[in-house]
Amino acid sequence: MAGPVAGVLVREPVDPAGREYVGALVQALSGTAPNETVSGEGSFWISTGTAIDAAYTGEGRPFSLHYDTPPESYAEPGTTDEMEKALGYLPPQEILIVAYCNGAEDHLLLGRLVLTLAKRFGGVVNMGGPVETAMGRDEDDPEAQAIKRSLPGKCYEVSYEIDEKRRGSFHVVDTTFLDAWLAHPRFRMVK
């Protein structure tokens, strides 16, 4: 079963030194010796979450990381205008991370990994959908809305056109919001 996906939207494309940092972080999470791949891009397994403050050590969990320039989410009509309106700028790149499984540990590891990278690169996190759906609720559910509003930090809604009659949306959050969401008992990443 496929798991959640999230991305770190950065103000500037990640430079070679930044890619080396990501590569070293991926190696620390994998518990493997350094290899020739220094950017961290591609598939990897997380067997320990120590480097990202995640309480997980165990069987390797499959993930992948890709640098999207420009971000894939911009392909939807109207997304770039909405993103720029919400953030005040248009991020040129997204560090996209995919969890290939859907267990609680995969959600935790993904959340901690994107939080770590967003803090390191001064980015914001594309949750890949509305935060309310991570709670197993509809976007308009009053309880889910109340939980979202109770969390500190920023949660921006970016909407886009699905077709002439329908619109979709996803949330982009800052590190304060994601840090609080990770500590909430209903925490899950958007799947």
The closest of 173, 35, 155 to 111, measured between CA atoms, is: 173
Give the range of the structural domain holding residue 98, as residue numbers without chain letter: 5-183
**What pLDDT does 59 receive?**
92
pLDDT in tens, the chain (191 residues): 589 999 999 999 999 999 999 999 999 999 765 554 556 788 999 999 999 999 999 999 999 999 999 888 888 888 999 999 999 999 999 999 999 999 999 999 999 999 999 999 999 999 999 999 998 888 889 999 999 999 999 999 998 888 889 888 999 999 999 999 999 999 999 99
**What pLDDT does 3 receive?**
95
Residue 53 has a CB neighbour count (10 Å cut-off) of 10
Backbone angles phi, psi at 100, to 5 degrees: -85, -5
* Residue 139: inside a domain: yes
* Residue 58: inside a domain: yes
CA dist 170 and 80 (Å) reads: 13
* Residue 43: inside a domain: yes
* Residue 189: inside a domain: no
Overall size of the chain counted in residues:
191
**What pLDDT does 78 receive?**
83
* Residue 57: inside a domain: yes
pTM of the model: 0.94
- Specify the number of domains making up the chain: 1
**What pLDDT does 162 receive?**
85
* Residue 173: inside a domain: yes
Residue 3 has a CB neighbour count (10 Å cut-off) of 19
